[in-house]
Structure 1
């Protein structure tokens, strides 16, 4: 019945014809506007991505196999510098315990002309080499690292002149390459501490470079 009345209104000059037409036009416009608004609505933008910060590349830690003659050649290359040599082994508890001091001295005195060499007296088989290198990497030993070897089945402890085969064993060479101080556990009466080694380093570093 309602549809019949609407049809009659639009088919004749009925007073409500104009009003109803306006309402229908308004409704049509409103729906279209809402659809346009929804269609132009955008999703919220994600936050600006923060660039990844990569750590700086560190110095590669290496391990070189060398006999006593090769070690002497490496020492000659350090002319003009004070040299600290730390003879140690992974099986030596005090060596492992105090190795961090060697790393610290290298950092502290490098600018003053200190050169550090570590000489491992471990076996030279492949597995042991891996264990030695892993320890050096963990300690961040960024200096010359040697694993002692000897030909003809000789004992590296003897060819390198380690007193009594006792570790740890430290040597300090002055800027001219002369051995000026040795710290050895071969003589139990000659006890020493890291403080003693550091003091000897400071004394050697005060020496002027040879002309």
Structure 2
């Protein structure tokens, strides 16, 4: 039978082993708890795109009051260029409907020597002027725009010699300032199309500047 001393030593060894296991567990837990947590990797954010380029501001579109005399002076200043004059009004349905052609011709043929003038035959009161200008801006009418006026109670349709007061009315002048083509609805037997006007412009542009 084992004596009391050997039993005591055995118990001591068991206690020491148990204590060692407990301490080892505490150390391992402490190490794992102190380990820095890894932050989840986030996908690289795309670089901020540069601000979208804004379209360049177009030239200011203006509207000037002009009588027939001033109109003739304006025409004279276009010497060397082919000139298209578009007589129109906001109350004229076909004028408004086809005005975009005038804008397109200006953009298409300006580099070849075309100069465009629009002549509004609207009333000249302040409110109407604003409406006319707003329309011109909405169509990007980046060319010379005037509103026809007359003195002494005269009718601008007469002073500007718009045939029969019928709109739309177009004129094409050659590089020397000569009127070479007129398109008017005054005569119902002489109908025309936008293609007819463009053809006249093209033919006039073939003339070499002097």
1:15 Cα shift? 2.8
The separation in 1 between residues aligned to 2:141 and 2:189, in whole angstroms, is: 31
| Aligned length in residues | 198
SS in 1 for 2:164: helix
Secondary structure at 2:136 match in 1:
helix
Match of 1:49 in 2: 48
Measure the CA separation in 1 of the matches of 2:88 and 2:17. Answer: 112
How far apart, in 2, do the equivalents of 1:104 and 1:41 lie? Answer: 58
Moved runs in structure 1, 4+ residues, more than 3 A?
40-47
Note the 1:1-211 alignment, pairs <5 A: 14-33=16-35, 36-37=36-37, 46-59=45-58, 60-210=60-210
Structure 2 unaligned regions, length at least 5? 1-10
Q: Partners of 1:85 and 1:55 in 2: how far apart?
A: 32
Query: What does the per-residue CA deviation read over 1:181-207, in whole Å, with 9 as the maximum and x for residues that have no partner?
Result: 112222222222222212211111111
What TM-score does the superposition give when structure 2 sets the normalisation length? 0.84
CA distance in structure 1 between the aligned counterparts of 2:194 and 2:74, rounded to whole angstroms: 25
Residue 41 of structure 1 deviates from its aligned partner by: 5.3
Q: Aligned to 2:167, what secondary structure does the other structure show?
A: coil
Question: In structure 2, what is the Cα distance between the partners aligned to 1:54 and 1:154?
Answer: 50
Q: CA deviation at 1:139?
A: 2.0
Q: Which moved more, 1:88-97 or 1:44-53?
A: 44-53
Measured in 1, the distance between the counterparts of 2:44 and 2:203 equals 65
Inter-partner Cα distance in structure 2 for 1:200 and 1:79: 18
Q: Counterparts of 1:200 and 1:137 in 2: how far apart (Å)?
A: 26
Answer with 1 or 2: which has the greater Rg.
2
CA RMSD of aligned residues (A): 2.3
- Structure 1: distance between partners of 2:46 and 2:111: 45
TM-score (norm 1): 0.83
Q: Which runs of 5+ in 1 are unaligned?
A: 1-8
